[in-house]
Structure 1
């Protein structure tokens, strides 16, 4: 009878309007969960033998790495059995973390890797559901539980979940994951970038238990109208006409009501007079409770407004200059594996907030871990968040556009409650053309449809005419904030002393951010000559002095995010003396040593902050 009831419930769930979209489990990192981080077996599969036989089709039994068996036991029971793998006796690594750190030979590996472990669990109790939740895996992921396919996901930087309610068993469960880092020209990003791929399971894997009907998505924010707004979606077969409430105890505020026929509900109320608005100076966060039936979703949310007026960016109605820097998702250390813990995030962001006197960070060139965005909330750093529409994606391929839209939505829905995020960026350094313009305008429209409370931007390129820099990208008209990457004096032969004489022109009356500028320097390499050599700390420091002098003359400038905080790995950068596989534009080395230019920028920001 119980089995019949569960089957009926599943049928209703599939037919219910609230179930037409796959569950997203926003705020899942705040829910009680069983962590599956830790020790995992891993096995390379460069010819993808575990995916298909050599004539195509289903791989043979000897190659099915997801099979729900213990190979050693099977061999003992049948001496004639043959396996081309043995996951239980394969090497062990600790996840999350890219396979770059598994073994030295994995440094430049591109392809398929299998992971497997067992964990103890109990079948979900009546009235509950269980989801496998992945913070991110790069790039194409297939998941198997107890020998059964669970689902697939493409995209290396956003979370995804799978309902495993019917596949879990009491006692030991076996989970097998294949992660393929290889990308094509139709993917987002394409294969050619200027950062390390970091293939593998780079963010946490958890097993989350929720009621049969639960809060799937809850967006709570302060509107520009001075009201607290809440949009909540329930998921489950009882999502319609269901009571729910949003409570902010410290403000004495409760919003309550019933969901509609799709399981959604929207409400608002005037912001209480005691509300303290989030800002870099006072990054106030409030405990927020979203309740429906037996489900409780908790979050920590800051309330602020962000908008533009002419060439200014306004935070909480007041002009703010964004004193920032760009950064990649790489922890400090000689051998980073893209394992961003709260301590790793704090170490990086504290260098910006306290070391550089900053209030802003550009998280490039893809969505960073939610550990990072939550830390930005806590420390008080305004965030630029970006999707990896980078350089030369296939603008004419509908599947490529669909992938970009998916990643954009997954990023925004995950982080809409982060007060720190002010800017959604849809692209970086993309070539102008009709197909590209249409592609990016679709993404811009998606941003405005999913989150109309923030600003939209993209890192663009400019046109040079002598010493005049023209911002003539047609996409400017569609953006709230212009952003330009500029490298005069580094990727050109211009004498540094001439940089302040460059003039910037734009027909748009909008805020401008210099989203990138920078020069490489190997930490510890010094050249005291009057005309220092590129890659020296002295050249980088002088480059910053002269570029900042140029920036000071741009009347529409509303922010800076130089390239970048920390040296980062990049296979493109192979100079055997100065680079050795690292992009050296960081103001600190990969281990955190501050270069001379760090102090140049810190002093500039100290002055701009009025300290």
Structure 2
């Protein structure tokens, strides 16, 4: 069986493409000799193993399932280009390769990429032979380098505590695409619901003289905009007003066109690049959502209305695939299960998620806080690496309406002395301002959990709710959440909520990690922040913790830990293989008891 055959870039679709997932030849390079011995030009005899791409060698679905440390690995496979693609530029795409990669096509070096969680592309046209083509990938993932953004990937062989099995090498789809020498790229959609405008920005690659772009925007099958944009320069911006359409003019309120978790309205777009003879050069299918998020009066607003966020922490791990979902349906299913429980979004924790997940969040209606894997240590290398990944992440995911917040730092990971260290505080501030400079449409949380600097949300982590027998601890937990003064002054992890020199400036207060009730379902063994013995106790303890959260008059949302068990952590509402630990209707009943109003 070949896995992950769905189109990997749902926000920017062209009809012709070739999926390279499947069986590749594979080799470990523990002696670090592959480059010197030119494995990229060797016969297949060097590659003694086979691996199922896009799964890392540590996973069951890879066919290897070896969790020992191998910092350098090599991949090789053959493919052929369709005769129908002759005369076009051929692009080789990688969804993600952790952490560094060198790519060779027919023995020639095609490119190098650093960063384990974002996509990259090479034009390989000049390296092709027209017959059987060969691609070789060398991937390096230094197991113990703490300046690399690694998130929850452990630097020892056996996972432990909050650290999990590593992912090395290719872990998202590899694919080939034919494009015309003149084509559209770097497309950005920026909605303005206050004026009914959508701004379209794009770049033309190649000779843009005497070219134009036909744009057609449709909503639920009805054409809203049909326009032609004449290309005068490489970078082009055009703003379309949607609310001038006859539907709106005859009384249909534009709130019904906005994107929300309850009504995930999307506009479908066709973009055709043509020359002066009206010959089509590029044809792209895409979409956008009309969505606005901002803060005001201590609350988060979605489309100019207060919106209480009920998020669940989602680490995006699967038992057989680790960071790679076994199927596209598995990505969709996680969102459907969360919504079934009454959550309206998630915080994607320490992971830049597959674009297919974000596509389903857009389609199904699910808020997402985007987060990047953290580096354990702080130095100039870790700063540069984190900054690079964030720039690539925002560029890739900017158009997804489901993403409402960016989380560049978490619990002072990688900045352990940010409380008083000005150097590390400047890094926190730099990430906050960098993200706002790249993206003016979303909120930014400077250091989720505690020791915040400048931030759009006061995000607090507090697991001190205790067990049902620890009534004093529970009452203290409620008191810490009870008022703004108490929440901001609390030290749930013996760390102050704000770093020295910073204080609460009226931003919304959300409890963004709590709960983590441990419950061993079946044969799983592990730990949670508290523990219960059976399903009945699990539901009762979930209710008890949520009652403390909902008793607060200051919280404007939460993020419960967590959606699923992950390896030795058994504090999910679902098991690692996504089986409910209780009747999910009971979780939804509890989640819906407060702040259940929806917006349209």
TM-score by length of 1: 0.79
Q: CA offset at residue 303 of structure 1?
A: 1.8
* Pairing partner for 2:461 from 485, 488, 491: 485
Mapping of residues 186-265 of structure 1, within 5 Å? 186-189=147-150, 194-239=163-208, 242-249=211-218, 250-261=222-233, 263-265=234-236
Tell me the distance in 2 between the aligned counterparts of 1:268 and 1:406. Answer: 29
Mapping of residues 109-148 of structure 1, within 5 Å? 109-121=69-81, 128-148=88-108
When residues 339 and 178 of structure 1 are mapped into structure 2, their CA distance, relative to the original with a 3 A threshold, is farther
* Greater Cα shift, 282-291 or 29-38: 29-38
Q: CA offset at residue 185 of structure 1?
A: 2.2
When residues 418 and 460 of structure 1 are mapped into structure 2, their CA distance, relative to the original with a 3 A threshold, is closer
Tell me the distance in 2 between the aligned counterparts of 1:436 and 1:554. Answer: 32
2:290 is the alignment partner of 1:303: yes
Tell me the distance in 1 between the aligned counterparts of 2:322 and 2:312. Answer: 20
Number of residue pairs matched by the alignment: 526
Mapping of residues 3-152 of structure 1, within 5 Å? 27-28=11-12, 31-51=15-35, 59-60=36-37, 64-67=38-41, 69-70=42-43, 86-87=46-47, 90-100=48-58, 101=60, 102=62, 106-121=66-81, 128-152=88-112
Secondary structure of the 1:279 match is: coil
When residues 176 and 134 of structure 1 are mapped into structure 2, their CA distance, relative to the original with a 3 A threshold, is same
Unaligned runs of 5+ in 2: 1-8, 156-161, 275-280, 489-503
CA deviations over 1:364-411 (Å, ceiling 9, x no partner):
112100010001111110111111235x331x41x3222212211221
Tell me the distance in 2 between the aligned counterparts of 1:501 and 1:539. Answer: 24
Answer whether contact 2:197 2:242 (CA < 8 A) is retained: yes
Number of the residue aligned with 1:330? 317
When residues 111 and 123 of structure 1 are mapped into structure 2, their CA distance, relative to the original with a 3 A threshold, is farther
* Pairing partner for 1:505 from 487, 504, 523: 487
Q: CA offset at residue 47 of structure 1?
A: 2.3
Answer whether contact 1:141 1:152 (CA < 8 A) is retained: yes
* Pairing partner for 1:583 from 534, 554, 569: 569
Mapping of residues 307-386 of structure 1, within 5 Å? 307-331=294-318, 333=319, 336=322, 338-354=324-340, 356-386=341-371
Number of the residue aligned with 1:448? 436
Answer whether contact 2:518 2:530 (CA < 8 A) is retained: no
Tell me the distance in 2 between the aligned counterparts of 1:248 and 1:47. Answer: 55
When residues 437 and 255 of structure 1 are mapped into structure 2, their CA distance, relative to the original with a 3 A threshold, is farther
2:377 is the alignment partner of 1:393: yes
Q: CA offset at residue 521 of structure 1?
A: 2.5
When residues 65 and 525 of structure 1 are mapped into structure 2, their CA distance, relative to the original with a 3 A threshold, is closer
Answer whether contact 1:189 1:393 (CA < 8 A) is retained: no
Q: CA offset at residue 523 of structure 1?
A: 1.5
Answer whether contact 2:29 2:70 (CA < 8 A) is retained: no
Q: Give RMSD over aligned pairs.
A: 3.0
Tell me the distance in 2 between the aligned counterparts of 1:486 and 1:128. Answer: 55
Tell me the distance in 2 between the aligned counterparts of 1:26 and 1:541. Answer: 38
Tell me the distance in 1 between the aligned counterparts of 2:390 and 2:84. Answer: 32
Q: CA offset at residue 27 of structure 1?
A: 4.0
2:435 is the alignment partner of 1:435: no
Tell me the distance in 1 between the aligned counterparts of 2:537 and 2:569. Answer: 16
Q: CA offset at residue 533 of structure 1?
A: 7.5
Answer whether contact 2:561 2:571 (CA < 8 A) is retained: yes
* Pairing partner for 2:513 from 508, 513, 516: 516
TM-score by length of 2: 0.80
Q: CA offset at residue 435 of structure 1?
A: 2.1
Answer whether contact 1:26 1:218 (CA < 8 A) is retained: no
Tell me the distance in 2 between the aligned counterparts of 1:334 and 1:522. Answer: 19
When residues 267 and 235 of structure 1 are mapped into structure 2, their CA distance, relative to the original with a 3 A threshold, is closer
Answer whether contact 2:449 2:513 (CA < 8 A) is retained: no
Unaligned runs of 5+ in 1: 1-24, 52-58, 72-84, 463-472, 527-531, 570-581
